[in-house]
Every structure is written in C-alpha cells, then in structure tokens.
Amino acid sequence: MSNQYFENNPNLKSDIKILNHYYYNHLLKIKTDSGIFSKNSIDQATILLLKNINVTKNIKTILDVGCGCGVIGISLASDNPSALVDMVDVNLRAIDLTNENIMENNIKNASAFESDCYQKITKKYDMIVSNPPIRAGKEVVHKIFLEGFKYLEKGGKILLVINKKHGLESAKKSLIEKYGNCEILAKDGGFSVVMAIKE
C-alpha cells in the first residue's frame, strides 16, 4: 500500500507534529501526522483559500470535503460560532486527527466523519469548501465540485483552490457547465480560489 494522503494505511508509522495556525484573532493548535497532506506546515493553497472565504450571516451550514487534519473547517468554525461545520475525508487517520483538533481547540460547532467525497452526506449545505486532493486524479477532483451541486442549498456556494498546472482551466469549464457560473476570487503563486453558486 502506498502512503498517499487520500488513502488509508494503518501501518504507517506515526510522527505527530503540532502546528500553530493563526486565523484572524484565533490561535489554533493543529496536530498533524504522517500520511496527512502537508503535515509539516499549513500549505500555501489552504492559506489562500481561507483568506478568501467570506462567511456571511446567512451561511449556517458548511461542509469541508477532503479535510485532512481539519485546518479549513476548524478555522471557519472558530470564527463563525453560529455556523455548523462538517468535515469529511476518506483517510481515517485524518478524521481521528481532525476530531482531536476540534476538541483541543474547544470548537463546539464542528464535527468530522469518514466519507469518500459525498458518500455519507445526507443533507444540504449553504457552503462547500475544499482544497481537493490533486494527487487522487482529475476524476476525484471534478467529482468534488460536480457532485457538490446536489448537496448545496439553492444560493449555496462552492469554493475550491486549484493550481493552474493541475487543471484550473478544465475545472472552470466544468463548473460553468454545471453551475452556470464561475468566479476567480483570488490568485497567488499559481493557485486560484474558484467559486460557483447554485442559482
């Protein structure tokens, strides 16, 4: 078995690290481990995405798809206590870490559970966010934003961060075909934050 962050390898040796992550006026302690995406630091794409997510008062439910150790979802939950944040990942070690990070940071409005994309999702959300697992391949990445349409409330938004080298143009094309719209919110270092709205 390989050691990709979107797979489960229970035999992978643990190597816990604690990262200090500042999100607005919140200092979050994020525990990471081997087999987790970007385990040594908060990656550039995640930081760019977080800087460009605007959680307005009408957004009450948020889903983080492919949450890893929970950086995105926990950040949003910490700054938006009236919103409920669900986080999913196919990687069981990631889900265990995310739940530990939720507890360690005293987050009361978030939960994490194992799901292969939307496999175990049973409700709709006002917002879906994702730093998709590019190494899992184009099919998985496109599945996150195309199937996300079904799990968004009317007027709901999906926000993703994608590298120009890793299929940004095809992602924009697919989003326009599915949602009828697509907006680039920010660009930095080859990454773009992309938003589509279910109208």
pLDDT in tens, 73-96: 999 999 999 999 999 999 999 999
Q: What is the pLDDT of residues 117-175, one digit of tens each?
A: 999 999 999 999 999 987 767 888 899 999 999 999 999 999 999 998 888 999 999 99
The packing angle between helices 138-147 and 168-179, to 10°, is: 30
Dist CA 99 CA 91 (whole Å): 13
Instruction: State the pTM of this model.
Output: 0.92
Structural domain spans, the chain: 17-197
- Tally Cβ neighbours within 10 Å of residue 14: 8
Q: What is the CATH number of domain 17-197?
A: 3.40.50.150
Dist CA 199 CA 156 (whole Å): 8
